[in-house]
Amino acid sequence: MMMTSDPHFMLFMPGSIAIIRKVMALRAQGMEISFTVDAGANIHLIYPEAHSDEVMDLVKRELVDYCHNGKYLCDNVGLGPLDLTA
């Protein structure tokens, strides 16, 4: 849709593509890591918690330079919804 609109626009920049390719290469080598992309150019890494040390080393060593001002956000799976009516 972005590229077919008039005028067209692009959210993926070379850094976004580089991160995606790096994750794909790591998966091909057997690392349990994947990614998703939000509505912008933000790449979200998805991996089992057991591999968090390995992934954080990767982020700090190879990916932090792609992050705006070297900042990134870490999150994890929550416990599910809370019943606010109780």
Distance CA 16, CA 4 (A): 20
CA distances from 66 to 3, 15, 18, 21, 47 (A): 23, 6, 9, 13, 19
* Residue 84, in any domain of the structure: no
User: What pTM, to 2 d.p., does this model score?
Assistant: 0.77
The predicted model gives 6-25 an average pLDDT of 88
Number of domains the chain is built from: 1
Per-residue pLDDT, 4 = 85
- Report the C-alpha gap between 66 and 86 in whole angstroms: 44
Helices vs. strands in the chain: H and E counts, helices first: 2, 2
Residue 1: inside a domain: no
Containing structural domain, residue 23 = 14-70
- pLDDT tens string 21-59: 999 999 999 999 999 998 777 899 999 999 999 999 999
Q: Say how far apart CA 64 and CA 67 lie, in whole Å.
A: 5
Question: In this structure, is residue 53 part of a structural domain?
Answer: yes
Return the residue matching tokens 């799976």. 77
